[in-house]
C-alpha cells in the first residue's frame, strides 16, 4: 500500500488509538497466520472464524491459513459482497480459487446479494458438509450454525474468536460462542489490535509527507507533537463542519 501512495499530501487523517509506547511489540497479521495454520492443522473437523466482515487484514490472514491447510474458504454473502467490491486484491468468490460464498438464513432468490454469486462461486449447506473448510462467521449467525450442526458432526472442530482486541463485545457474539461450546467445538482466541502501532504510523507519515495531520480517537496526543514537530497537528476537537 505504501508503495502506491503519493509522496506529498495536504492532509493526512489517521487513527490515533493504541499509541502508547513504541517498545511494545504488536502481534502482526503474519504472526496470526502462523498461529492459525498451527491450530487448524491439528483439527480434522470444521473450522469457524468469528470476525468482523470489514476487517480486510484478518480476512486475508484467514484465507492464507485456509490455503496452506488445503481447506475451502467460505464467506457469508455480506462479506463476499464487500470483498468483491474492493476488487481482486482481497480474497473473494469472483476472483480467487478456493473461495466461495454461502447463503445464510433469510435470503430469497430475488435478493440482490443472492443474484451476485452464481452456482460456480456459491455453495449450499448440503455441499458444505462434504468439505474441509474454514468458514467466516458473523455474530448474528447462531441460527445458521445450529442448522449446520444438525447436518454434520462438529467433532474435533474449532471456533476461532478473531475479533480485534479492542472491539466491543456483543450479546450476539457471546451467544454464538456459548452455542459453539455446547456443541463441542473448541473455542480459541486469536486476536490482535486493529489499530496501527507507532512504527506503522511513522512509516505512513514519512511516505506521504503531509502538511497537516488530523489524528482521530487520540489517546496520546503528545506523541504526534513530539514525533512530527515540523508538521501541523490538528486536534480532533478543533475540527469544524
Mean pLDDT score across all residues of the chain: 86
CB atoms within 10 A of CB 106: 9
CB 67 within 8 A of CB 98: yes
Distance CA 204, CA 14 (A): 9
Query: Is residue 17's pLDDT more than 80?
Result: no
Comparing CA positions, the residue from 7, 1, 9 lying closest to residue 213 is: 9
CB 185 within 8 A of CB 14: no
Q: Quick one: pLDDT at residue 132?
A: 97
Tens-place pLDDT, residues 140-196: 999 999 999 999 999 999 999 998 655 567 899 999 999 999 999 999 999 776 677
Q: Quick one: pLDDT at residue 56?
A: 87
Provide the whole-model pTM.
0.77
The set of cell numbers assigned to 36 is 492459525
Tens-place pLDDT, residues 103-150: 876 667 777 776 777 666 889 899 999 999 999 999 999 999 999 999
Q: How confident is the model at residue 23 (pLDDT cuts 50, 70, 90)?
A: very low
Amino acid at each position: 500500500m505504501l508503495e502506491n501512495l503519493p509522496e506529498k499530501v495536504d492532509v493526512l487523517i489517521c487513527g490515533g488509538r493504541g499509541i502508547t509506547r513504541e517498545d511494545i511489540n504488536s502481534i502482526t497479521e503474519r504472526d496470526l497466520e502462523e498461529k492459525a495454520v498451527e491450530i487448524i492443522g491439528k483439527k480434522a473437523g470444521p473450522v469457524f472464524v468469528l470476525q468482523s466482515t470489514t476487517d480486510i487484514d484478518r480476512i486475508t490472514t484467514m484465507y492464507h491459513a485456509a490455503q496452506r491447510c488445503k481447506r475451502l474458504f467460505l464467506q457469508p454473502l455480506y462479506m463476499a459482497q464487500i470483498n468483491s467490491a474492493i476488487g481482486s486484491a482481497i480474497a473473494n468468490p469472483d476472483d480467487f480459487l478456493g473461495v466461495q460464498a454461502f447463503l445464510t438464513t433469510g435470503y430469497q432468490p430475488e435478493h440482490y446479494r443472492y443474484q451476485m454469486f452464481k452456482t460456480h462461486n456459491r455453495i449450499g449447506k448440503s455441499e458444505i458438509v462434504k468439505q474441509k473448510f474454514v468458514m467466516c462467521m458473523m455474530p448474528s449467525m447462531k441460527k445458521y450454525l445450529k442448522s449446520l450442526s444438525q447436518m454434520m458432526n462438529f467433532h474435533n472442530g474449532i471456533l476461532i474468536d478473531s475479533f480485534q482486541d479492542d472491539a466491543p463485545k456483543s450479546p450476539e457474539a457471546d451467544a454464538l460462542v456459548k452455542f459453539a461450546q455446547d456443541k463441542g467445538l473448541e473455542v480459541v482466541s486469536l486476536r490482535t489490535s486493529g489499530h496501527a502501532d507507532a512504527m506503522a504510523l511513522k512509516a505512513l507519515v514519512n511516505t506521504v509527507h503531509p502538511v497537516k495531520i488530523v489524528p482521530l480517537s487520540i489517546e496520546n496526543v503528545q506523541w504526534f507533537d513530539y514525533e512530527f514537530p515540523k508538521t501541523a497537528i490538528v486536534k480532533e476537537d478543533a475540527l469544524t463542519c
